[in-house]
Amino acid sequence: MSTEARKPPPQIALKIRRLLGGKAGWNGVAVQFAFAAILGWIGYEIVSNARANLENQHIAAGFGFLRNNAGFDVNQTLISYTGSDTFLRVFVVGLLNTLVVSVVGIVFATLIGFIVALCRLSPNWLLSRVGEIYVEIIRNLPLLFQILFWYLAVLAALPNPRQSISLLGLAFISNRGLVVPSPIGERGLEPFLAMLALGIVASLALRFYARRALFQEGRMIRIWPYVLGLLFGLPLATMLVFGPPFSFELPQLKGFNFAGGSRIIPEFVALTLALSTYTAAFIAEIVRAGILSVHKGQMEAGSSLGLSRGTTLRLIVVPQAMRVIVPPLTNQYLNLTKNSSLAVAIGYPDLVSVFAGTSLSQTGQAIEIIAMTMGIYLLISLLTSAIMSVYGWRVSRSLGA
Amino acid sequence: MKRVTLALTLALAAGLSAQTADAQTLKTVKDRGMLSCGVSQGLPGFSSPDDKGNWTGLDVDVCKAIAGAIFNDASKVKYVPLSAKDRFTALQSGEIDVLSRNTTWTISRDTSLGANFTGVTYYDGQGFMVKKSLKVNSALELNSASVCVQTGTTTEQNLADYFKANNMKYEVIAFGTNDETVKAYEAGRCDVFTTDQSGLYANRLKLANPNEHMVLPEIISKEPLGPMVRHGDDQWFDIVKWSLFAMVTAEELGVTSKNVDEKTKLENPELKRVLGSDGNFGEQLGLTKDWVVRIVKAVGNYGEVFDRNVGAGSPLGINRGLNNLWNKGGLQYAPPIR
């Protein structure tokens, strides 16, 4: 008589047990399911209770309002919009306005932040004091105050449109914003764009080829003359064949304001300035901390190889510092995006202003609108974090860490 | 931030409490010993705090009249200053008992917000204010102008309608609060400031040089302003509604805050009914018999309230116009108390 070995439970069951129950085994799994059920029940109660109460009080509910006409106008729209468009379009208009101010703000904040950090680290006494003063003043004043300061300072310094400052008769600066000639596509536009795209792709391919040659065979290939030719020569050649890609519509003073041309409104300028200078102060400190975290010996090793200070920073110190810099930098990018909702104080039509503000009070549907706004901010933040995580991962990988 | 907090309160209130819309407002107010009244963040003549923090204005007097009717003490009011866009959420969430904040009565607000208008305290219309130096004499000359407006108002929508109907272009700059809007107009960000005409006169007083600005003659909309209460409490709705009517009725009958005591002694049947020595209308409302007397003692009749806050006796100096009594060529009319 032979005893058969007991069959082990299937692998998948073990995995589920470990995943859900941890060390507590199947009991743990039961607790987890009970907890999930209670959470689900609470959520259901809240939603159904809210619905019933809203109905009781005859407060309109649901997302049907998104298809209604908004009936109000917005002064900066990246897509075409009029008062007879829907609330859904208002949502998109507001979202794009938030995104554009965030992206432009992030770019400037990063640039200014790095420059200030390098100033603070500079052996030049004056430069490092200037950097220090910048950081200490900017980061210690409330952001809302700074936004109002820039807005009122920008407005107060500028003349009205009839006395606007003319830049060669092409662009005009007044308290209505900066008006520049707007490009209008001509017959040559499509081939021009096609050649530009081709030039960019070819340049990238060339760079890839040159780097491979450098790392694998140790050959230095000088590519910049070819890149110049591809990026400028090709499009210029198409212009000769097909004619110019754009013509420009010049702004002209008509009545109260400029007609024609494109305009950057002062609210946008003030908000971008305030957000980027404010966030830059924090970024500067993060960058400084990152660079100081790289051992002094690295810098000395660079100089002993005969590299200049700038080259050592660029090739040796900054890549190592980036590993430390990227995670807190992500926080600052998220802060900037969220802080852009202070726009309502100066009348910049961002998402919170036009959707969670105007649309909310026109429709009265607070729960739906606030939920949508919170959802989209969450999505933007998660996307930003994801992108920065990928970047951070690439930085670490390239260092072989 | 306040808006988000309010919205969350609303979501929680709606989600967690089983029955919020019970007919409980009067009891809640009495238990609390205070009327919670939503007012503006500062609009001279309607609701604004003075340098000692005392609130005055036509909308404020509506709050005082209600508090007077309930507590016989016009000071038992907690004023909650609200921006245009926060006001309805504050009412829905139960933070305030009545919204008395120059709010225009429209069908969409009456039907979709879960709240009701109780009457009209001021018949208004939207107008435009410009700098005199622009040499504009009519709103029809405003093509391509920049317009400053407070966000979350009917004003914003009327503006879009008016410029579209007249085939004119404009640029709108919308601010969160009245003060920010006025400041931007003063800083020259826009050529035109638009709101209800009474608001234009009130805000003109806030400018550094009121005489350099003028209100254009056009009135582009009907703006009947009045208080709002939540749906579902008919008793409370009646109290607020009849507090307004009591003020108008008192003016009709010539009862003022000065002569109210003498008038109660007169043997006039209508006066006896209204002032409570005959009948029990006040008790049917859930108040006391002398509710009208209490209101008139608290704030005076409608004419006194108008005159003191926005009319001839105030810096605004606005004519009675549409807001005169129905038998004097205006629209103010109260159903009979009998």
Angle at the Cα of B69 from the Cα atoms of B65 and B73, rounded to 5 degrees: 80
Q: For the segment B107-146, what is each residue's pLDDT rounded down to a tens digit?
A: 989 988 889 999 999 999 999 999 998 888 899 999 888 9
Task: Give residue for tokens 């879960």.
Answer: B114
Q: Is there a contact between B189 and A266 if contact means CB atoms under 8 Å apart?
A: yes
Name the domain count of chain B: 2
- Same domain, yes or no: B303 and B198: no
| B89 lies within 8 A of chain A by CB | yes
Q: Report the C-alpha gap between A350 and A100 in whole angstroms.
A: 9
Which residues does chain A have within 8 Å of residue B89's beta carbon, measured at their own beta carbons?
Answer: 360, 364, 366
Q: Is there a contact between A267 and B19 if contact means CB atoms under 8 Å apart?
A: no
Q: Is there a contact between B15 and A50 if contact means CB atoms under 8 Å apart?
A: yes
Q: Please give the interface size between A and B, counted as residue pairs whose CB atoms are below 8 Å apart.
A: 175
In a domain? residue B55? yes
In a domain? residue B337? no
What does the buried/exposed string (b/e) look like for B26-63 if buried means 16 or more CB atoms within 10 Å of the residue's CB?
beebeeeebbbbbbbbbbbbbbbbeeeeebbbbbbbbb
- Same domain, yes or no: B155 and B16: no
- Same domain, yes or no: B8 and B139: no
In a domain? residue B73? yes
pLDDT band with cut points at 50, 70 and 90 for residue B205: confident
Kindly identify which residue of chain A lies nearest to residue B17, measuring between CA atoms: A49
Q: Which residue has the higher pLDDT, B260 or A250?
A: B260
Q: Report the C-alpha gap between B134 and A133 in whole angstroms.
A: 44
What does the buried/exposed string (b/e) look like for A34-71 if buried means 16 or more CB atoms within 10 Å of the residue's CB?
eeeeeeeeeeeeeeeebeebbebbbbbbeeebbeeebb
Q: Is there a contact between B188 and A160 if contact means CB atoms under 8 Å apart?
A: yes
Out of A58, A176, A366, whose CB is closest to B7? A366
Which residues does chain B have within 8 Å of residue A72's beta carbon, measured at their own beta carbons?
Answer: 156-157, 159-160, 172, 174
Residue that is last in its domain, among B167, B198, B221: B221
Q: Report the C-alpha gap between B13 and B19 in whole angstroms.
A: 9
Query: Comparing C-alpha atoms, which of A356, A375, A60, A367 is closest to residue B14?
Result: A367
Q: Report the C-alpha gap between B99 and B90 in whole angstroms.
A: 9
- Using the predicted structure, report yes or no on whether residue B21 has a pLDDT greater than 60: no
| B85 lies within 8 A of chain A by CB | yes
Query: Comparing C-alpha atoms, which of B56, B139, B157, B119 is closest to residue B323?
Result: B119
Count how many residues are written for chain B. Answer: 338
pLDDT band with cut points at 50, 70 and 90 for residue B77: very high
Q: Is there a contact between B11 and A56 if contact means CB atoms under 8 Å apart?
A: no
B86 CA to chain A: closest CA distance, Å? 7
Q: What is the DSSP letter of A37?
A: H
Out of B19, B153, B191, whose CB is closest to A256? B191
Query: Comparing C-alpha atoms, which of B58, B59, B95, B55 is closest to residue B75?
Result: B55
Q: Report the C-alpha gap between A297 and A320 in whole angstroms.
A: 13
Q: Give Cα separations from B171 to A44, A73, A74, A361, B178 (angstroms).
A: 45, 8, 8, 21, 18
Residue that is last in its domain, among B188, B221, B254: B221
Q: Report the C-alpha gap between B152 and A69 in whole angstroms.
A: 15
Q: Report the C-alpha gap between B261 and A280 in whole angstroms.
A: 69
pLDDT band with cut points at 50, 70 and 90 for residue B8: low
Which residues does chain B have within 8 Å of residue A60's beta carbon, measured at their own beta carbons?
Answer: 111-113
| B293 lies within 8 A of chain A by CB | no
Q: Own/partner pairs for A134-141, CB < 8 Å, 24+ apart? A: A134/A281, A134/A284, A135/A281, A135/A284, A135/A285, A138/A277, A138/A278, A138/A280, A138/A281, A139/A278, A139/A281, A139/A282, A139/A285
Could you give the ipTM of this predicted complex? 0.74
Q: Is there a contact between A73 and B172 if contact means CB atoms under 8 Å apart?
A: yes
In a domain? residue B335? no
Structure tokens at A342: 């202070």
Kindly identify which residue of chain B lies nearest to residue A158, measuring between CA atoms: B188
Edge-to-edge strands, sheet with B126-131: B170-175, B145-150, B192-196, B126-131, B213-215
Q: Is there a contact between A72 and B142 if contact means CB atoms under 8 Å apart?
A: no
List B residues 107-146 in contact with A (Cβ-Cβ < 8 A). 108-109, 111-114, 134, 142-146
- Using the predicted structure, report yes or no on whether residue B17 has a pLDDT greater than 70: no
Q: What is the DSSP letter of B207?
A: S
- Same domain, yes or no: B119 and B230: yes
pLDDT the model gives residue A2: 58
Task: Kindly write down the DSSP assignment for every residue of A127-139, as one continuous string.
Answer: HHHHHHHHHHHHH
Q: Is there a contact between A256 and B145 if contact means CB atoms under 8 Å apart?
A: yes
Out of B86, B89, B160, whose CB is closest to A83? B160
pLDDT band with cut points at 50, 70 and 90 for residue B19: very low
Q: If 0-12 CB within 10 Å is exposed, 13-18 middle and 19+ buried, where does residue A289 land?
A: middle
- Same domain, yes or no: B29 and B67: yes
Q: What is the DSSP letter of B221?
A: S
Q: If 0-12 CB within 10 Å is exposed, 13-18 middle and 19+ buried, where does residue B273 land?
A: middle
List B residues 22-81 in contact with A (Cβ-Cβ < 8 A). none
pLDDT the model gives residue A31: 83
Out of A57, A257, A349, whose CB is closest to B114? A57
> What mean pLDDT do residues B289-297 have?
95
pLDDT the model gives residue B6: 54
Q: Is there a contact between A73 and B231 if contact means CB atoms under 8 Å apart?
A: no
Angle at the Cα of A313 from the Cα atoms of A310 and A314, rounded to 5 degrees: 85
Kindly identify which residue of chain B lies nearest to residue A341, measuring between CA atoms: B1
Yes or no: say if A369 and A355 are a contact pair by the CB < 8 Å rule.
Answer: yes
**Which residue intervals of B194-338 are DSSP H helices?**
197-204, 234-252, 260-265, 269-275, 281-285, 291-299, 302-309
pLDDT band with cut points at 50, 70 and 90 for residue B13: low
Residues 6+ apart with CB under 8 A from B72: B288, B294
- Same domain, yes or no: B202 and B275: no
Task: Kindly write down the DSSP assignment for every residue of A205-238, as one continuous string.
Answer: HHHHHHHHIIIII------HHHHHIIIIIHHHHH
pLDDT, one tens digit for every residue, chain A (401 residues): 556 777 777 777 777 777 766 666 777 778 888 999 999 999 999 888 888 888 877 777 788 889 888 888 888 888 888 888 899 999 999 999 999 999 999 999 999 999 999 899 888 999 999 999 999 999 999 999 999 999 888 777 788 777 777 777 777 888 888 888 877 777 777 778 888 888 889 888 888 888 888 888 877 777 788 888 888 887 788 778 777 777 777 777 777 777 777 788 889 999 999 999 999 999 999 999 998 999 889 888 988 988 888 888 888 888 888 888 998 999 999 999 999 999 988 889 999 989 988 888 888 888 899 999 999 999 999 999 999 889 888 887 776 54
A283 CA to chain B: closest CA distance, Å? 25
pLDDT band with cut points at 50, 70 and 90 for residue B72: very high
Q: Is there a contact between A73 and B187 if contact means CB atoms under 8 Å apart?
A: no
Q: Is there a contact between A175 and B188 if contact means CB atoms under 8 Å apart?
A: yes
Structure tokens at B85: 């866009």
**CATH number (domain holding residue B208):** 3.40.190.10
- Same domain, yes or no: B234 and B119: yes
Q: Which residue has the higher pLDDT, A8 or B222?
A: B222
In chain A, domain spans = 11-56, 87-168+266-398, 182-249
% of chain B with per-residue pLDDT over 70: 93
Entry pTM = 0.78
Kindly identify which residue of chain A lies nearest to residue B160, measuring between CA atoms: A72
- Same domain, yes or no: B203 and B256: no
Out of A59, A256, A366, whose CB is closest to B146? A256
Yes or no: say if B148 and B130 are a contact pair by the CB < 8 Å rule.
Answer: no
Q: For the segment B136-188, what is each residue's pLDDT rounded down to a tens digit?
A: 889 999 988 899 998 878 888 899 999 999 999 888 998 888 888 998 898 88
- Using the predicted structure, report yes or no on whether residue B20 has a pLDDT greater than 50: no
pLDDT the model gives residue A316: 86
Strands B98-99 and B35-39 turn out to be: parallel
Q: Is there a contact between A49 and B3 if contact means CB atoms under 8 Å apart?
A: no
- Same domain, yes or no: B118 and B8: yes
pLDDT band with cut points at 50, 70 and 90 for residue B1: very low
| B322 lies within 8 A of chain A by CB | no
Task: Kindly write down the DSSP assignment for every residue of A48-65, as one continuous string.
Answer: HHHHHHHHHTTB--SSGG
Kindly identify which residue of chain B lies nearest to residue A366, measuring between CA atoms: B7
Q: Is there a contact between B14 and A54 if contact means CB atoms under 8 Å apart?
A: yes
Task: Kindly write down the DSSP assignment for every residue of B272-291, as one continuous string.
Answer: HHHHTSSS-HHHHHTS-TTH
Q: Report the C-alpha gap between B279 and B25 in whole angstroms.
A: 25
- Same domain, yes or no: B11 and B71: yes
* CATH code for the domain defined by A87-168+266-398: 1.10.3720.10
Q: Report the C-alpha gap between B212 and A39 in whole angstroms.
A: 63
pLDDT the model gives residue B293: 95
- Same domain, yes or no: B115 and B239: yes
Question: What are the φ/ψ torsions at residue B219 (nearest 5 degrees)?
Answer: -115, 120
Out of B112, B172, B184, whose CB is closest to A363? B112
Kindly identify which residue of chain B lies nearest to residue A350, measuring between CA atoms: B174
Task: Kindly write down the DSSP assignment for every residue of A74-112, as one continuous string.
Answer: -S--SS---TTSBHHHHHHHHHHHHHHHHHHHHHHHHHH
Residue B32's H or E segment, with its range, is helix B25-32
Yes or no: say if B224 and B102 are a contact pair by the CB < 8 Å rule.
Answer: no
The mean pLDDT value of chain B amounts to 89
In a domain? residue B333? no
In a domain? residue B279? yes
In a domain? residue B317? yes
Residue that is last in its domain, among B169, B189, B221: B221
Structure tokens at B204: 């003109």
Q: Report the C-alpha gap between B294 and B242 in whole angstroms.
A: 13
Residue B103's H or E segment, with its range, is none
Query: Which of B173, B182, B212 to mutate: most A Cβ within 10 Å?
Result: B173
Range of B191's domain? 126-221
